[in-house]
Amino acid sequence: MSKVYKNLFIDFDDTLYDTHGNAVIALTEVYEAFHLECYFDHPKMFYDAYWQANIDLWSQYAKGEITREYLIVERFRRPLSVGRGLDVTVDLCLRISDAFLDRCADKPGVVDGAHELMDYLKERGYRMHMTSNGFHEVQYKKLNACGLKDYFTTVILSEDAGANKPSQQFFDYAFKISGATPDNTLMIGDNFDTDIMGAKRAGMDVLYFNCFPEYPAPQPVDFEVSSLRDIIKIL
């Protein structure tokens, strides 16, 4: 590495925090707590419908096409509607959403190598800034649950920025409150559209954490890794 970075913008969900793994556990708990077995022949029907809806809705949310409120209701309305004989009301969707988010936020699971990487980066003196489109109250609970909060100099959330990654407004806000500049900051993230392309358009170097190395980055990036521990070899 020839360039020296002072600041690291680091995505949180599925880059450091095992959002998917923790959500799988939380979905199982919600399925059981709300006795959804009465309406689905198999829990997989509910889980598959949830993930399909969740991926689609978060993509729309990142682009500013839907509101947080719509996402919260719709990501459970769609999978619940697959069930038989269930009266899928807004109230039910909100109750299940609250239960799900509470359970997710309490889970401590992190991506393999996350604590090792953060210890290394802290020792190296990097200023680290969490950048996330996740909901404010949920992200702080996750940070506390997994023990990563104290590594970050700043926590930069889209709700505070007034815009989601990959928008320029998000990154302008991130530079403002962190004191970082595009030329001395590296973006680390797992989502190519929101993390990597957003940061590239903001003038930053990027490190793509590609969890599916069989599908390389569709556009050139400064660094690409398939393991968090590989970042130690770069920085």
Q: What is the per-residue pLDDT across 199-225, written as a single tens digit (0 to 9) for each?
A: 999 999 999 999 988 998 999 999 999
Q: What CATH superfamily is the domain 20-105?
A: Putative phosphatase; domain 2 (1.10.150.240)
Identify the pLDDT of residue 188.
98
pTM over 0.85: yes
Q: How far apart are CA 19 and CA 186, in angstroms?
A: 22
* Predicted confidence (pLDDT) at residue 103 exceeds the cutoff of 90: yes
What are 5-17's pLDDT values in tens digits? Answer: 999 999 999 999 9
What are 119-133's pLDDT values in tens digits? Answer: 999 999 999 999 999
How do the domains of the chain map onto residue ranges?
A: 7-18+109-234, 20-105
What are 48-66's pLDDT values in tens digits? Answer: 999 999 999 999 999 999 9
* Predicted confidence (pLDDT) at residue 1 exceeds the cutoff of 80: no
Query: How many beta carbons lie within 10 A of that of residue 42, not counting itself?
Result: 9
Identify the pLDDT of residue 3.
82
What are 160-179's pLDDT values in tens digits? Answer: 999 999 999 999 999 999 99
* Predicted confidence (pLDDT) at residue 2 exceeds the cutoff of 80: no
Identify the pLDDT of residue 42.
95
Q: What CATH superfamily is the domain 7-18+109-234?
A: HAD superfamily/HAD-like (3.40.50.1000)
Identify the pLDDT of residue 197.
97
CA 184 to chain centroid: 24
Which amino acid is it at 171?
Answer: F
CB contact at 8 A, 174 and 180: yes
CB contact at 8 A, 148 and 16: yes
